[in-house]
Amino acid sequence: MKYQRTMKNTILLATMLCGLVFGSKVNGQDPRFTQYYAVPLLLNPAIIGATDNLKASLDYRNQWGSVSSGYTTYAFNAMYPIQTGGSNGKLDVGLSFLGDKEGAFGTMNASLVVAYSKEISSDNHICAALIGGYGQQSLSTSGLTFDDQYVNGSYSPSNVTSENILNQKAGYADIGAGIMWYYNPKGKFNAFFGVSGYNLNQPNLSMTGSTAVLPMRLSYQVGVKILDIDKFDFVPNAYANYQAGNTETAIGSYADYHINDDMKVSFGFWYRRRDAIPLVVGFVYKGFTLGYSYDAVISSVHTVSSGVCANEISLSFSLSGQTGTVPSFGGGGGSAPAGTPGASPFPSF
């Protein structure tokens, strides 16, 4: 059993080394979330402009647990309006933190968001935002064992391995931008459309001195919110991501049921083309929100290995100056009763 485990670790590291050393250009991809609107600054930093609330959120995702310990991703978002309303528009700042672990590899990224939004006509708003920060990719070999560390069948971590080990850290600057239009009248219908770009400078993540580019990711978001139909809000929406020649598209709908002015439950689903059907459920009480999602894999990958599903949980808090509103999971303000200015046009999570 020990030999099989060490061979697996050796093959895994050898595969990573071959890709990084012999490939003249290696492309990575950004981590994926199912509850995109629970971590809005990682979807489109311009979402920050659609609220006057102070908001903070946490998201944790675990997937492919049966494959080399799986993939673990967590994120923190915080948004704060520093200038609200008026003819001069609105200024917001935000903070985004992302952590991702893939076997022996780990990635951390901390970014600052600055956004400006303005009402361009009656009930029509537009927001432009910049996001920039610093990321670090690291390699941990502490959990790996190699054949030459076994002597006469006994393993000792003090035995020096002859395996080639990469540099253990690589830092990089990362910048992005986004623009968002949202329609937010006093009636029962809201809408939004946004475009965002990340890794616009295509940072080099190489740990060998060669080139391992993190490609640009372009994202498009669109949706509507239909408010207060027998205490329900319906939010059909769609998004598309393009990165390194890969396309991810999804469409879905949410339903929020208002139990009272302080409490609601949310549920819904997405269809992610050729990948999965995420099922989502959430609960909101005053400024606190809790969401859970499960990705039911429909691609052929589940026939190769079991345990490739994904579980994701989000927790957020929104401090609103409005009364009688229920804050939403998303980047917007409260899920206000119909006719209330400032109701979030975005999905719950």
285-331: per-residue pLDDT in tens? 988 999 999 998 887 655 545 566 889 999 999 886 443 333 333 33
AA letter at 44: N
Residue 266 belongs to some domain of the structure: no
Residue 205 belongs to some domain of the structure: yes
Residue 312 belongs to some domain of the structure: no
CA angle 244, 111, 106 (to 5 degrees): 60
Residue 234 belongs to some domain of the structure: no
Structure tokens at 6: 């060490």
Q: Where are the beta strands (DSSP E) in the chain?
A: 54-63, 71-83, 90-102, 105-121, 124-139, 150-151, 154-155, 169-183, 189-198, 217-229, 232-243, 246-260, 263-272, 276-285, 288-297, 310-319
Residue 108 belongs to some domain of the structure: yes
Using CB atoms within 10 Å of the CB of residue 143, give its burial: 0 to 12 exposed, 13 to 18 middle, 19+ buried.
exposed
Residues belonging to the chain? 349
Structure tokens at 85: 């309303």
Find where tokens 């076997």 sit.
103
Its domain, for residue 116, covers 2-225
Residue 154 belongs to some domain of the structure: yes
Give the other-Cβ count within 10 Å of 116's Cβ. Answer: 17
Distance separating the N- and C-terminal Cα atoms of the chain: 43
* pLDDT at residue 344 in the model: 72
SS3 301: helix
- CA dist 216 and 222 (Å) reads 20
- pLDDT lower than 50: segments of the chain: 1-26, 304, 321-342
Give the other-Cβ count within 10 Å of 324's Cβ. Answer: 11
For 46, list phi and psi in degrees, rounded to 5: -75, -10
- CA dist 40 and 42 (Å) reads 5
AA letter at 200: L
Residue 24 belongs to some domain of the structure: yes
* pLDDT at residue 275 in the model: 85
* pLDDT at residue 337 in the model: 45
Residue 258 belongs to some domain of the structure: no
- CA dist 196 and 180 (Å) reads 8
Please tell me what DSSP assigns to residue 336: P
Using CB atoms within 10 Å of the CB of residue 50, give its burial: 0 to 12 exposed, 13 to 18 middle, 19+ buried.
buried
Q: Do the Cβ atoms of 127 and 91 come closer than 8 Å?
A: no
SS3 57: strand
- CA dist 272 and 230 (Å) reads 29
* pLDDT at residue 68 in the model: 59
Return the CA Rg of the chain: 22
SS3 124: strand
Q: Do the Cβ atoms of 134 and 173 come closer than 8 Å?
A: yes
| Overall domain count for the chain | 1
Q: Kindly give, in sequence order, each residue whose CB lies less than 8 Å from that of residue 269, ignoring residues fewer than 6 positions away.
A: 252, 253, 277, 278, 279, 280
Residue among 233, 230, 232, 267 nearest 252 (CA): 267
